[in-house]
Amino acid sequence: MASSTSCSQADGIIANNHELTPLEKHVMFFDINNDGIIYPSETYQAFRKMGRGIFRSMFAAVLIHFNLSHKTRPGKCPSLFFPIVVENIKYAIHGSDSGAYDSEGRFVPEKFEEIFKKHAHQNADSLTYNEVKELLKTNRKPKDYYGWANAFVDWNSLYDLGKNKNEILTKETVKAAYDGSLFEQIAKEHDSK
């Protein structure tokens, strides 16, 4: 993955006429030094930029990297540094989720809309916590315990980060999470406080 040039991963992807997929954009906020590899220290820094506490940020970094590093480094020996390779993030897609990313990390608008058509009962453009729980239960694939756990962490983290003052998760916020802009928005809001 790493090239012998000094350009960043994002620059390299653009130079190779490879646009970042929505899933790659989703994780690029965590690539603090923009080299295409995310280390636990960068994930920790990113969570701190979003206003998360020290313990929570450390826990998130450990959990995320322990679960995703080996999946984004196919064919390589495990690394004690637990890096996540951005261009291989598609290999970390798990089951029992909404399907709003396809197997290549592209955004699937129909699946995104389906989230709200099926689960947004109180308001067509937002989800309550109970509706998020319903979404998780509905999307569970039989015996996919790993997928269940990952979907639970993903959606509960999104709800925690993105809920508004009325305790709801708006469609706009969920879309921002999928396109990667939500994390930057939260960091800017936190920085301005």
Low-confidence ranges of the chain (pLDDT < 70): 1-17
Taking only the tens place, the pLDDT of each residue in 74-114 is 888 889 999 999 999 999 999 999 999 999 999 999 999 99
Tell me what pLDDT residue 146 has: 94
SS3 content of the chain, % helix, strand, coil (to 5): 55, 5, 40
d(CA 143, CA 139): 12
DSSP per-residue codes, 144-164: -HHHHHHHHHHHHHHHHHH--
d(CA 182, CA 61): 18
Q: Which CATH architecture has domain 107-193?
A: Orthogonal Bundle (1.10)
Which amino acid, 140?
A: R
Q: Is 71 helix (H, G, I), strand (E, B) or coil?
A: helix
d(CA 108, CA 101): 6
Tell me what pLDDT residue 17 has: 52
6, 75, 138 from 108: Cα distances, Å:
34, 28, 18
Sequence spans of domains, the chain:
9-92, 107-193
Tell me what pLDDT residue 92 has: 95
Nearest to residue 99, comparing CAs of 89, 107, 88? 107
Tokens of 77: 């020996």
Tokens 């879309």 locate to 175
Tell me what pLDDT residue 74 has: 84
Taking only the tens place, the pLDDT of each residue in 143-154 is 999 999 999 999
Please state the length of the chain.
193
Tell me what pLDDT residue 76 has: 84
Burial label for 177, CB within 10 Å (0-12, 13-18, 19+), is buried
d(CA 58, CA 39): 12
